[in-house]
Structure formats: structure tokens, C-alpha cells
Amino acid sequence: MASSTEENYLKSLYNLANAEGEVNLSELAASLQVSMPTANSMVKSLQKSGWVMYEKYKPLTLTKEGKKIAALIIRKHRLTEMFLVKVMNFGWEEVHEVAEQIEHIHAPKFFERMDQMLGFPTVDPHGSPIPDPQGKITPLSYTPLSHAKPGQNVQLAALTNSSTEFLEFLNSRNLSLGTQLSILSKESYDQTMVVSYAHHPSETLSEKVCERLLVRVLE
């Protein structure tokens, strides 16, 4: 069974992997805020466990088993975030830090009950998919708001970034998953969008914000 530290390495490797599934050791060390030698020795031990493939001077990749362990940690993280929001009434901006701790609990019973109490959700409070019990993730097929056109109606479905700062910004604009927006105009100079939604007849959103909002196009 992986330790909490090992689990965090596997999770980072999973999240940092490019399309080819590769991660550089320096990126991994930076994301975990550890030194290169520390990351290097941990990676060697993960390799011994059969979870990581590592050759000197080559990028790291997760083995099939390593990938599954990582996906199941992400499953526990996202289920926990959903539980904190739906059952314990936390705000979506408050749940990440708590989930970072709870995701390391190993008792399967605990998460099975959580899943059941929530009615087997498929996404977390930020719209990110929850991997299934076998560690399979169904990728999202939403459009960034920045790609939508004036005149279109869209529904906010997920986020590409769920940092506390961004979630607090969305709270301040009363934007949450499920909000339906009409796109009034788009500035060709800087891609700023003017949108309207419930109680907000005209709200301006920057390109940066529009890129981080994933929507379902309604018409």
C-alpha cells in the first residue's frame, strides 16, 4: 500500500503528464516543492514498487498500476469535495484543502458509503469528472466560454481552474455550475465578453475568465 507521500507523487505525475504521459523530474520536484535529489530518490522507490518507469535522462511515466492508484486517489479527493459541499454545506471554494487530507484514508468502506450517500455522482463540485471505482476517467467534452459566440446561450458546466481565488471571484459574480448565460457581445480587440444571466443584465468577463469557464452550448 502506498504511503501518503507516495500517493502525492503518483497524483502529481498523473496531473502533470503530457499527451504522451511523460513528466520531467524537474517539473515533478517543482510541483511538490521538494529538491531534485529528494524527488529523484522517491521516484526510484516508486519504480521499485512497479508504479513508475524511470530511466536516467528520460522523462518519467506512470505504469498502468501507478496510473490506477493515482486515479483512485483523485476519485477519493473528488468524492470528498462533493460530500463536503452536498452534505456538510461547505462552499466550493473551501473544500480542496480538506480533501487533500481525507484522500489518503485507505478504508474502502468509508468512500463506498460516501459514494452511496451522494447517489453515485459523476462529477465533483467544480464539474471535474470523478474516476469510477476501477480508476477509469470519462473526459469532459465541454467548450471554453472563450470559444462561444455572441447570440449563443450557454450553461456553465465545469472549470479548468479551481483555485480558491478564482472560485471566490465566481462567487462575487454569483456564477456557479448550472448558471445559464447569454452572450451579448465579444470585443475583438481583447476577447472580453459581455454576458447576461439571472439578476445580472450586463456583466463583463475578461478573456482569462472566459478561458477558465467550460460551458455546454444550449442553442
- The contact set with Zn ion (CB under 5 A) reads 96
Q: With respect to Zn ion, which residue has the nearer C-beta, 75 or 186?
A: 75
CB 216 within 8 A of CB 154: yes
Distance in Å from the first CA to the final CA of the chain:
49
How far is Cα of residue 219 from the mean position of the Cα atoms in its chain? 27
Minimum CB–partner distance for residue 106 and Zn ion (Å): 19
Between 9 and 197, name the residue whose CB sits nearer to Zn ion: 9
Residue type, 6: E
Nearest residue to Zn ion on Cβ basis = 96
- CB nearer Zn ion, residue 161 or residue 185: 161
- Name the minimum Å distance from CB 187 to Zn ion: 33
CA distance 116 to 102: 17
Smallest separation, CB 96 to Zn ion (Å)? 4
Q: Which is nearer to Zn ion, 161 or 204 (CB)?
A: 161
| CA count, 13 A, side-chain hemisphere, 8 | 14
Q: Which is nearer to Zn ion, 66 or 127 (CB)?
A: 127
Q: Which of 213, 154, 212, 219 shows the shortest CA–CA distance to 183?
A: 154
Per-residue HEC secondary structure of 79-116 comes to HHHHHHHHCCCCCCCCCHHHHHHHCCCCCHHHHHHHHH
Residue 35's H or E segment, with its range, is: none
Least Å from the CB of residue 138 to Zn ion: 18
Q: How far is the CB of 11 from Zn ion (least distance, A)?
A: 11
DSSP 127: S
**Among residues 68 and 96, whose Cβ is nearest to Zn ion?**
96
Largest CA distance in the chain: 59
Shortest Cβ 126–Zn ion spacing (Å): 7
Q: Which three cell numbers stand for residue 72?
A: 483512485
